[in-house]
Chains A and B, each alone.
Chain A
Amino acid sequence: MKFKSNKRRNYPLPATCILSATLLILAPFSGSGAQKRTTATPTSATDRNTASTFVARAKTYIKLRNGVQSKLPTLSKDSTPEQITAHKKAFGDGVRAARVSAKPGDVFVPAAGEYLRRMIRTEFKGQDRGEVKEAILEAETAGVPLKVNYPYPETKEVSAIPPTLLLKLPELPKELNYRFVGRHMLLMDKENGLIIDYLRNALP
């Protein structure tokens, strides 16, 4: 049985240089799609600052809502529907009372709003993205109030946020979600179901 020689082939120097350069150029595009996308961070200092201010404001809300939550009986992970409903209502009522003076733009401050709109606009370019936009606009969300501190109606659909977009947006604390209602973006508390803030015409 014959084996292939293990002897290394000697490539001429220019060819090696071209190969190395090609590999360097292609390197950022190698690997899985997810790996590429999990590194989406704002490129300019202004954007980084805007994103961090926005997240800091979201965290301020988290501190307040955690304070309210700590005064409630803990909701066990094996609860009954009655316990789930009662906890959600008490939690929501408590947060509403604690931030009674909250107003639109408290978290989505103008600079953050512009930054997010730009991110979304970039993401929704192209035909495929057009289909996604259509799907968001078709979701049964008519009647969801654009009002801070109001509960998102349980009877309404929750439109899925395209993961390709989610990975470009500033990462929220785990208790919060971005949501779309028509063209508008909401900031939602997952556990008490309240609309924390909203951004008008976030979708182009």
Chain B
Amino acid sequence: MRTTVNRNPALCLTLALLVVIALISATSQPKGFAQDLAKNPNAISAVNPSLNLTLPLKEGSVRFAIIGDTGTGSSQQYQVGAMMEKYHAIFPFAFVVMLGDNMYGGEKPKDYEVKFERAYQKLIDNKVKFYASLGNHDQTTQVNYEPFNMNGKEFYRFTKGNAAFYALNSTYMDKRQIEWLETELAKDTSEWKICFFHHPPYSSGGKHGSEKQLREIVEPIFVKHGVNVVLTGHDHFYERIKPQKGIYYFVSGAGGKLRKGDVRANSPLTAKAFDTDLHFMIAEIVNDSLYFQAISRTGETIDSGVLARPRKN
């Protein structure tokens, strides 16, 4: 059987060119790109010089992102979402914790789409899970929304690796919730205990500031049961609080709304603050260390560091 071979030189050249392009493309971004980066973080700057990852990308670590006060549907919220996607490509976090005010100004089906789904579409498509907590602009019915992973509950717990995460409803911290929190924390043997909710027990916000009545109730419980980190929103800026009674507190409430210049100057609480643009956070837990990085809407690293978990004797 004879095979007909097309000897047209122009066609041959085109085919050869296409093969070369395909080879170059495969070499520059191989399959499993993000996974490869996890093994070689130095490759990041070569690929995208504008992104600066400070987290160690250790194998087997717990990787997550943190966003608060997101649900505006504004172009700024979408820009934060786009920046999160870029960082996800170089730091493949598995889940996102949401610090409340997930939807401002209405919760019709269209609002879920505009104020959440479309803003983080690529992350959702990449199977990144979102765990929400409720803020003062959220309806309780959000607990049944599948992508928020609340399983019908206003307050709930989940674990990832050596860390336990507690989502609380700080808008309504009643006896039922406090008793649940005490009971769950008392039996929790996780190495890291991280609570996330909307209202900040400590904050240097001019508009809201520290929620002292909430602090009066929850802080003794956190201290008693060895909570390590508390993530909150409500104030529309970023603030890392100086450790309080051995606990690290963060305010990360500018994922979709900004209150420019709202951090009180010279606040004795502030370790680091940023109130001139929107932001999100990424974090990585490696054994006894929690690495964090706060990133602005435009990709600037506004804060980073590592928190140490005190070892139990």
* Number of inter-chain CB pairs below 8 Å: 117
The reply to whether the CB of B214 lies closer than 8 angstroms to some CB of chain A is yes
The contact of A80 among B111, B142, B146, B212, by CB within 8 Å, is B146
A193 to B224, CA, bound (A): 36
Q: How far is the CA of A151 from the CA of B248 in the complex (A)?
A: 39
A77-B151, A155-B105, A161-B172 given; A38·B141 CB < 8 A: no
Residue of A84, A128, A193 with highest tally of chain B CB at under 10 A: A84
> Given A162-B213, A163-B174, A163-B213 in contact, is the A78-B220 Cβ separation under 8 Å?
no
Q: Annotate B156-186 by CB proximity to A: 1 below 8 A, 0 otherwise.
A: 0000000000000011111110110010000
Given A132-B213, A159-B136: A81 and B208 interface contact (C-beta under 8 Å): no
- Hey, which chain A residues are within 8 Å of B152, CB to CB? 77
Residue of B nearest to A193 (CB): B139
Binds B, one of A29-37, A94-102, A113-121: A29-37
Can you identify 6 A-B contacts, CB atoms within 8 angstroms?
A32-B220, A33-B220, A81-B111, A82-B109, A84-B142, A160-B136
The count of chain B contact residues (Cβ–Cβ below 8 Å) is 46
Chain A residue nearest to B149 (CB atoms) is: A78
Q: What is the distance, in angstroms, from B266's C-beta to the closest C-beta of chain A?
A: 20
- Residues A38 and B178 in contact in the complex (CB < 8 Å), given A80-B146, A154-B107, A193-B139: yes
Give complex CA distance A76, B208 in Å.
Answer: 36
B213, A38: Cβ atoms closer than 8 Å: no
Contact with B along A160-200 (1 / 0, CB 8 A): 11111111000100100100000000000011010000000
**Residues of B in contact with A (beta carbons under 8 Å apart):** 105-109, 111-113, 136-146, 150-152, 170-176, 178-179, 182, 199, 208, 211-214, 216-221, 223-224
Q: Report whether B199 and A167 are in contact in the complex, using a CB–CB cutoff of 8 Å.
A: no
Q: In the bound complex, do residue B137 and residue A157 qualify as a contact, i.e. CB atoms below 8 Å apart?
A: yes
Query: A166 and B172 in contact (CB under 8 A), knowing A88-B141, A154-B139, A157-B137?
Result: yes
Q: Which residues of B contact A46 (CB under 8 A)?
A: none
